[in-house]
Structure 1
């Protein structure tokens, strides 16, 4: 039993060290100009996470010469754990902060602490978030680049088959977690069809 606990302890330390090294490597790569030509934070972050995982495997391969417990399966497991952690971190923090209406509103509340009412905050949102920051234009550009929509010559926007699959998947997964369906299912009322 003691040998098993020792082995598990060594593996836990290896995984923790690999997770830490992989995260630091990821942060360093994100801060570098690597793949700076990719305009979407999410796509750039995922691509760099994969590059970081490959570099981590190389580092672990070098370390395996000195650490007997670092066999191929441990290296692959540690790199996979690092990849999963880094992508999760990307989605939960930077991507959420980059897109979050809540963070936008909190920053405005902080700036005008105690001065804004809900109607005033709504006005700030419409004027700054939608107007000055051109967030609709940004989303149209991002979703076009992602392949979820296309903009016709007359300027109207159409959902692609990929976009329909994305919405269908969002409705399914959102249903599993009890997410608000109003964000993925538009009401019947709205703009008249032309």
Structure 2
């Protein structure tokens, strides 16, 4: 894409058009990354809401993500894209050494919708994640699912699902504890 573009800037629409069906996977990874570190409360909520939008589109069977026109027309400096690509390529090459297309069920339409349902669950858990550290296992899970989709590796997707299950359980326990505390304070229980 960088070789064919002539301008100083690339639009988000240009990037999505080149990525085609892998644009979903890239969005999933990008929405998971901020949650891999302890972040203040609005970050998991915003990432969770955006991931919810992406997951709904995957479940609906869309072939490429729908993004608002205002976002598609936003541009990114070509130098910034080149810098990001130069940083990402060594990491992706390391991942590609042991990752390969496996468990091709996730490449089918039904399999992708199943991944969409998984992401829907993870996004809802991110929305109510325990402050500061509750989003970390969910962020890791989302990133692994996204990377598994990029590499077409069902084993990586399943690893993300396993970590996501732990994250959802931890955050369900947090939500239960908060609700129980409120009920106790209100003498409802």
> The TM-score by the shorter chain falls in which range?
under 0.3
Normalization by structure 2: what TM-score? 0.27
Structure showing greater radius of gyration is 1
TM-score by length of structure 1 reads 0.26
